[in-house]
Each structure stands twice: as C-alpha cells, then as structure tokens.
Amino acid sequence: MVQSITPKQLAERLKTEDSSSLQLLDVREPWEVEICALPGVTTIPMQQIPQRIAELSTELETICICHHGGRSLQVGHYLQQQGLEKITNLDGGMDAWARTVDPTVALY
C-alpha cells in the first residue's frame, strides 16, 4: 500500500528534516513542471518511469507528485511492484500544495 502525505505535512517535513533523506519525484509532463514545481524535484514523466526507474534511489523515501495526486499514486503502486519500498504519494498534488501551503504557486 502506498502511504500518503498532505501538502502541509510535506511542507513541515521539508522545513524540519534533512532534505537529502527524501526524493521528490514529479511525474507530470514537462509543460506542467514549467508552470509550477517544488524545488529540488526529480522530474520523470509518468510514461517514462519504466525506462528511467534506475535513476531513482532505492534507499531514500520517494514522494510522488503530480497535478492532483492520481498519476503519482499510480506511479507509486508501480514503483512498489518494482521493489521500491519507501513510497509516499502527495495527496492532492501540486494543486493542493498551491491551495493549502503556497498560494504563490501557479494553478492550472
């Protein structure tokens, strides 16, 4: 089962934890990432995950991010099926981040 985290919980973790313990994986398309993205994300569009999975650390907790949380949840399930264990999905995605954490983040 993929764990979940709210935008507010993630924001708190990013403030209080060493960010090197987390791998932020944004699975949106490049045009979406150009509109808004969290600092320090690894961007791999959902369709490229199978070919690029080796780019991901198996040691770090991976926080999967997309626009509303649906694509990232699917990617999270796929990553778990491939043997990655520390997978968390950002509930509500970047849309929820913009609405609850950082209103300066563009909505689309």
As annotated, the active-site residues are: 66
Phi, psi at 44, each rounded to 5°: -135, 110
Strands 42-43 and 87-90: unpaired
Query: Any bridge partners for residue 23, and if so which?
Result: 62
Amino acid at the residue 99? R
Residue pair 79/87 in contact (Cβ under 8 Å)? The answer is yes
Q: Do the Cβ atoms of 48 and 30 come closer than 8 Å? A: no
Instruction: Give the whole-angstrom CA distance, residue 92 versus residue 18.
Output: 24
